[in-house]
Amino acid sequence: MAEIKPKYNDFIKKSDDLVTSQSATRAGFVSVALEKNIKATPFINEARALRSIALKVKNPKELLDIAEIEPALLTASGLSDKSLNHLDASDKLSAKKNLIENFLIPAGNDFANELVYRFLLTRGDTLGGMMRNITGLLGEKKLTRAIISALSIRGYSFTYLDKQSKKWLEGSHDDLTIDENVKGLSWAKSKKYRTLIYNITPPFIGKNIDLCLFSSDYKSYTNNNSPDSVHMDAKNYLSLGELKGGIDPAGADEHWKTANTALFRIRDAFKPTKAITFFVGAAIEKSMAEEIFNQLSNNTLSFAANLTNEDQLNNICSWLISL
pLDDT digits (tens, 9 = 90+) for 81-93: 889 889 999 999 9
C-alpha–C-alpha distance, residues 228 and 221, integer Å: 8
* CATH architecture of structural domain 15-20+154-322: 3-Layer(aba) Sandwich (3.40)
What's the number of CA atoms in the CB half-sphere (13 Å) around residue 278? Answer: 27
pLDDT digits (tens, 9 = 90+) for 269-321: 999 888 999 999 999 999 999 999 999 999 999 999 999 999 999 999 999 99
The domain covering 36-129 belongs, at the CATH homologous superfamily level, to Restriction endonuclease BsobI, helical domain (1.10.238.90)
Best CA proximity match to 205, nearest among 248, 253, 237, 250: 237
CATH topology match: 15-20+154-322 vs 36-129: no
Is the pLDDT assigned to residue 68 strictly greater than 60? Answer: yes
pLDDT digits (tens, 9 = 90+) for 194-239: 999 999 999 999 999 999 999 999 999 987 778 889 999 999 999 9
The pTM of the whole model exceeds 0.75: yes
Domain boundaries, the chain: 15-20+154-322, 36-129
Best CA proximity match to 247, nearest among 30, 35, 38, 37: 30
C-alpha–C-alpha distance, residues 216 and 268, integer Å: 23
Mean pLDDT computed over every residue of the chain: 91
Q: Is-contact 86 97, C-beta < 8 A?
A: no
Q: What are the helix (H) ranges across the chain?
A: 22-54, 70-76, 89-99, 111-153, 252-270, 286-297, 310-322
C-alpha–C-alpha distance, residues 75 and 12, integer Å: 50
Task: Give the mean pLDDT of 35-45.
Answer: 90
Label the pairing between strands 237-244 and 277-281. parallel
